[in-house]
Each structure stands twice: as structure tokens, then as C-alpha cells.
Amino acid sequence: MHDPLDDDRLTLAGLLIESSVGLRAQLGRRLEDECGLSLQWFDLLIRLARSPDHRLRMAELAAQTVLTPSGLTRAVDRLEEVRLIERTACPSDRRGAFAVLTDEGLRRVRTAVPVHLVHLEEHLTGVLSESERSQLKELLRKIRDHVNPEARPSGELTRCPQP
């Protein structure tokens, strides 16, 4: 008979979480050491770098990342303190604020990206074949879209502005 403590679905969820947490730990450590950026910061900066005018509304940024609005406020505070981004008012909605990459911020991401790609190759894509990578991408996209549909415009859709 089948023990629910060993259900296959538990294993799958466990693997997903362990992979992600493990990967984040590795990538974060290396990025910190070699570029002085936390993964959190890198994530925010690269999202801004990919956006038109290197700017995004706070709410959009919060939706795309792992942070709640509250967490984002503080993360942006810290990034502003070290002059990697700036807040600017939104002219059409005085409640709103844009987070804008500074020149220094842009420079930092640009130099960090190739370094990070090496780490990625080492810790993630290096163990997968070309076809495994695309398989995995499709599977994860299904899960992500189901679990966090808000995040859709992130990254892989950057080049496809909606009709």
C-alpha cells in the first residue's frame, strides 16, 4: 500500500523548492563576492535596465519581483542610498513614483550580467543539454503562470509588447 508521507507530488515540490533555494544561495554568494551586488539588487537593476527609459513604476516592479510593496519600498530606499537608482515623481499620477536607473546603476548591471551568466552556466545550464533547457523552460513557465500570473511581463516577454 501507499504511504502518503512518500507521495510523489511531495517529492516534486521538494525538488522544485530545493533547487531554487540552492541555486539562489550559490548565485547570490558569487555575485556578492565578484560584483558586490545581492541577487535581490541585481534582479531589480536588470528589470529596470530592460525597461523603456530604464524606469518602472513601483507597483510594476513589485509585481515582477519576489517582493511585496512594502519590501520593495525598503529595497529601493537602500538602492537609492548608494545611488544606483533614483525615485522620480510620476507626472500623470501624483501618488505614483518611478524607480529610475542611474548611470552608475546601468554601468553596474552591464558589468554584472556577463559575470552572472558565467555563474548561471556553471550552476544551472551547464548540467542541462540544449533540449533539456527548453523543456524545463516550458514546464516552469506553466507553473509560474499558474502560480503567479502577475509576473508574466517579466523577462521573457520583454520583447513582446502586448497588442
Partner DNA sequence: AGGTCGTAGTTGCGTGTGCAAGTACTCTAC
Partner DNA sequence: GTAGAGTACTTGCACACGCAACTACGACCT
Residue type, 84: L
Among 38, 12, 13, 36, smallest CA distance to 25 is for 38
Instruction: Give the interface segment with its own copies, choosing from 24-32, 55-63, 74-82, 90-98 (CB under 8 A).
Output: 24-32
User: Residue 39 CB, nearest distance to its own copies (Å)?
Assistant: 9
Count CB neighbours of 31 within 10 A: 20
Number of residues near DNA (by CB under 7 A): 28
**Rounded distance between C-alpha atoms, residue 50 and residue 12, angstroms:** 33
Nearer to its own copies, 147 or 162 (CB): 147
Among 121, 125, 122, 148, smallest CA distance to 135 is for 125
**Rounded distance between C-alpha atoms, residue 147 and residue 150, angstroms:** 9
Backbone angles phi, psi at 98, to 5 degrees: -100, 145
> Residue 96's binding partner, choosing from DNA, its own copies, none, with beta-carbon cut-off 5 to 8 A by kind?
DNA
Question: Would you count residue 113 as binding its own copies (CB under 8 A)?
Answer: yes
Of 62-101, binders to its own copies (CB under 8 A) are: 66
> Residue 74's binding partner, choosing from its own copies, DNA, none, with beta-carbon cut-off 5 to 8 A by kind?
DNA
Binding site for DNA (CB under 7 A): 29, 40, 57-60, 62, 66-78, 87, 90, 93-98
